[in-house]
């Protein structure tokens, strides 16, 4: 069983939503990423989304754009990201790691080369933001052959026939983008999200994570009640930007713990089990 599937099975017995923090690999410097990944786990992360920096992150807001710029300025390369996962795996064999980023660096490396290297490093899934199922071709199958779950986005405007298509192409989990716009935008409408998730669940048994617009413990707790996973990116990356390097680990651990406590206390199991 894959780490991602095992993780969601465990969570379903605990009746709790997963917490999936996102950080950009190499931000602020490559040497800090592995330590930050362990800090995320220590704070209570269930799955880690690790961003692969790209020069032209078209779907990202300013916070994650700046993280990409910092990582690239510090010399981060795609192979370094894979190496960070490999190092992380030496101490943590359990926490799933999903790589998130844009297509071009992977296309340049070669899909087969990337898939092999990611598998060897201990990566569990890949979310390529600018690769919709219409363009995925054999890449999804190639990834699955290398034990990488292809993770796809769904949005408020995704139509039923495409929801179906995306659900068929995906494995591991699905990532629902909770609002129109780029990462880090404001205003989350929990009721609208709940309705769309109900629609998506007609087509799939896969767990559904919700991201874009979750800024703090309160919004994380709200989303945890209606989804299988809560993805927090910009709010965390903003803290990395604002924190002096010496305090990074503590700040990140504390913020993730705050989110995790908010999610756990909202778990339906506490009230109904």
Tell me if residue 49 is catalytic. yes
**Interface region with other proteins, contact rule CB under 8 A, candidates 85-93, 145-153, 190-198, 258-266:** 145-153
Between vectors from CA 81 to CA 76 and to CA 85, what angle results, nearest 5°? Answer: 150
108 binds other proteins (CB under 8 A): yes
> Is residue 67 classed as helix, strand or coil in its secondary structure?
helix
| The only residue of 134, 199, 247, 250 in contact with other proteins, by rule CB under 8 A | 134
| The only residue of 103, 194, 248, 249 in contact with other proteins, by rule CB under 8 A | 103
130 binds other proteins (CB under 8 A): yes
**Phi and psi dihedrals of 232, rounded to 5?**
-125, 115
Beta carbon of residue 167, minimum distance to other proteins (angstroms, whole number): 13
> What residues pair up with 99 in beta bridges, in sequence order?
50, 126
Burial group, residue 248, by CB count within 10 angstroms (0-12, 13-18, 19+):
middle
199 binds other proteins (CB under 8 A): no
Q: Determine the length of the chain.
A: 273
Beta carbon of residue 31, minimum distance to other proteins (angstroms, whole number): 18
Catalytic residue among 27, 60, 80, 228: 60
Distances (CA, A) of 170 to 71, 161, 269: 29, 15, 28
95 with 3: CB under 8 angstroms? yes
136 with 171: CB under 8 angstroms? no
**Interface region with other proteins, contact rule CB under 8 A, candidates 20-28, 30-38, 107-115, 217-225:** 107-115
Scanning residues 22 to 61, which ones bind other proteins (CB under 8 A)? 54-59, 61
Tell me if residue 60 is catalytic. yes
99 binds other proteins (CB under 8 A): no
265 binds other proteins (CB under 8 A): no
Distances (CA, A) of 203 to 14, 79, 163, 198: 24, 36, 7, 9
| The only residue of 34, 63, 182, 259 in contact with other proteins, by rule CB under 8 A | 182
83 binds other proteins (CB under 8 A): no
Distances (CA, A) of 258 to 8, 69, 109, 179, 236: 21, 28, 38, 24, 12
Catalytically active residues are: 49, 60
Binding site residues, other proteins, CB under 8 A: 54-59, 61-62, 65-66, 69, 72, 77-78, 102-113, 129-132, 134-135, 137-138, 141-142, 145, 152-155, 157-159, 162, 166, 177, 180-182, 185
């Amino acid at each position: 069983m894959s780490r991602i599937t095992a993780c969601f099975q465990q969570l379903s017995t605990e009746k709790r939503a997963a917490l999936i923090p996102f950080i950009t690999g190499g931000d602020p410097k490559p040497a800090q990423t592995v330590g930050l990944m362990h800090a995320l786990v220590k704070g209570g992360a269930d799955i880690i989304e690790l961003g692969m920096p790209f020069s032209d992150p078209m779907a990202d807001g300013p916070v994650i754009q700046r993280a990409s710029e910092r990582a690239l300025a510090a010399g981060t390369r795609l192979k370094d990201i894979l190496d960070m996962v490999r190092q992380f795996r030496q101490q943590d064999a359990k926490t799933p790691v999903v790589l998130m980023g844009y297509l071009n660096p992977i296309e340049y490396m070669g899909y087969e080369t990337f898939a092999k290297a990611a598998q060897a490093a201990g990566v569990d899934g890949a979310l390529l933001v600018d690769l919709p199922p219409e363009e995925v071709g054999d890449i999804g199958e190639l990834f699955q052959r290398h034990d990488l779950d292809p993770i796809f986005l769904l949005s408020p405007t995704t139509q039923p026939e495409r929801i179906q298509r995306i659900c068929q192409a995906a494995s591991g989990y699905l990532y629902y983008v909770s609002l129109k716009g780029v990462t880090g935008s404001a205003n989350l409408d929990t009721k609208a999200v709940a309705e769309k998730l109900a629609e998506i669940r007609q087509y799939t048994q896969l767990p559904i994570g919700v991201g874009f617009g979750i800024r703090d413990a309160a919004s994380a707790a709200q989303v945890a009640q209606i989804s299988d996973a809560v993805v927090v990116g910009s709010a965390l990356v903003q803290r990395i930007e604002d924190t002096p390097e010496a305090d990074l680990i503590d700040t990140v651990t504390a913020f993730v713990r705050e989110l995790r406590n908010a999610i756990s206390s909202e778990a339906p199991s506490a009230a109904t089990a």
